[in-house]
């Protein structure tokens, strides 16, 4: 059974079981949360892969983010720009998958944690999580387009007191 563009979310559990990609009963030695988080990550990754289908449909990361509904609506009139809420017409399953993945990623990745905390100070936790979801969507596009695995990079904190111009 191969899932494609016109598959439904209801077919996902049977697809995962048949292809042995996710073992829903997996637990670590003490049955802790570590194995459960790994299962959730795999399910969300499979859902995102099913919903995106062919990455070549999107010419740049912004198009994938718009398809997922992770960009704000924009109203422009008379030279004034107002950014509103997230796009209402989008792939809701893909948006849900990226938002839930962002909540998990901010606890498990140092890069995602610093990105989340930096935006959280200014905008709040929910807006920061949505921004992190958008960033994860962009990273997904780059990894799939260039056919390379994700590599965690150390987050570099810039010192704003430095007055050297480059």
State yes or no: pLDDT of 79 exceeds 80: yes
Q: Are residues 88 and 22 in the same domain?
A: no
Q: Are residues 70 and 147 in the same domain?
A: yes
Residue 86 structural domain: 55-155
Q: Are residues 23 and 64 in the same domain?
A: no
Q: How far is CA 117 from CA 74, 94, 101, 104, 160, in A?
A: 25, 24, 16, 14, 17
Q: Are residues 65 and 145 in the same domain?
A: yes
Q: What is the pLDDT of residues 13-58, one digit of tens each?
A: 565 555 443 333 433 444 444 555 566 667 777 877 788 888 888 9
Q: What is the mean pLDDT of the chain?
A: 75
Q: Are residues 70 and 43 in the same domain?
A: no
Is 25 contained in some domain?
A: yes
Q: What is the pLDDT of residues 105-118, one digit of tens each?
A: 888 888 889 999 99
Helix (H) / strand (E) element for 123: namely helix 110-123
Is 67 contained in some domain?
A: yes
Is 161 contained in some domain?
A: no
């Amino acid at each position: 059974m191969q899932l494609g563009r016109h598959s439904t979310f209801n077919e996902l559990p049977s697809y995962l079981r048949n292809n042995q990609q996710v073992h829903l009963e997996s637990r670590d030695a003490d049955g802790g949360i570590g194995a459960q988080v790994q299962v959730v990550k795999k399910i969300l990754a499979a859902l995102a892969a099913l919903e995106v289908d062919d990455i070549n449909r999107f010419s740049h990361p912004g198009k994938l983010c718009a398809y997922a509904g992770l960009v704000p609506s924009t109203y422009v009139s008379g030279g004034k720009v107002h950014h509103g809420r997230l796009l209402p017409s989008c792939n809701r399953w893909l948006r849900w998958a990226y938002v839930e993945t962002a909540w998990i990623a901010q606890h498990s990745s140092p890069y995602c944690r610093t990105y989340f905390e930096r935006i959280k100070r200014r905008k709040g936790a929910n807006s920061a999580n949505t921004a992190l979801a958008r960033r994860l969507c962009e990273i997904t596009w780059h990894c799939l387009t260039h056919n390379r695995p994700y590599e965690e990079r150390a987050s570099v904190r810039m010192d704003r007191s430095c007055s050297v111009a480059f």
